């Protein structure tokens, strides 16, 4: 079993060495974005959208088209600050209006590729 750190103190990008098939099996959603927030790669954990759903998100604005709730929240603010500083590694929990659960967000730089990852993990609403 491969253990992936999901915390602020993880200095490396554990996804870089995983094959695409293993990345698709992760227990959380992930979006790889370029510096302008356009989706480069997308892994969704939500059932029922079919195999083409992830591919259809590539090339779209994450904050405006894929997850508009994130564009109006601290997720976008942390992303923009991390891009500007060229350093991103922050973890926080947030509630999203209309969802029955909270989410844990991990924003992380991929230093080799020059892209940015947003990991989204469901939590039980407290």
Q: pLDDT of 31-57, one tens digit each?
A: 999 999 999 988 776 544 444 455 688
User: What integer pLDDT is reported at residue 25 of this predicted model?
Assistant: 65
pLDDT band at 107 (very low <50, low <70, confident <90, very high): very high
- pLDDT tens digits, 55-104: 688 999 999 999 888 888 899 999 999 999 988 999 999 887 877 788 89
Place of tokens 């590729």: 113
User: What integer pLDDT is reported at residue 108 of this predicted model?
Assistant: 93
Q: Which is higher by pLDDT, 22 or 41?
A: 41
CA–CA separation, 98 vs 115, rounded Å? 30
Q: Give the mean model confidence (pLDDT) for residues 16-44.
A: 80
Angle 29-73-124 from CA coordinates, rounded to 5°: 50
Sign of CA dihedral 14, 33, 90, 70: negative
DSSP 4: -
User: What integer pLDDT is reported at residue 79 of this predicted model?
Assistant: 96
Angle 113-70-53 from CA coordinates, rounded to 5°: 70
CA–CA separation, 99 vs 28, rounded Å? 16
**Domains in the chain: ranges and CATH:** 27-124 (3.30.450.20)
CA–CA separation, 101 vs 91, rounded Å? 17
pTM value? 0.72
């Amino acid at each position: 079993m491969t253990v992936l750190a999901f915390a602020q103190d993880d200095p490396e990008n554990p996804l870089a060495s995983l094959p695409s098939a293993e990345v698709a099996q992760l227990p959380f959603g992930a979006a790889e974005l370029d510096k302008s927030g356009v989706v480069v790669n997308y892994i969704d954990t939500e059932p029922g959208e079919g195999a083409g759903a992830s591919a259809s998100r590539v090339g779209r604005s994450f904050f405006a088209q894929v997850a508009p709730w994130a564009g109006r929240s601290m997720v976008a603010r942390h992303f923009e600050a991390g891009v500007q500083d060229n350093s991103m590694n922050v973890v926080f929990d947030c509630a999203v209006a209309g969802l029955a659960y909270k989410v844990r967000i991990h924003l992380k730089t991929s230093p080799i590729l020059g892209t940015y990852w947003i990991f989204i993990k469901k939590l039980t609403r407290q």
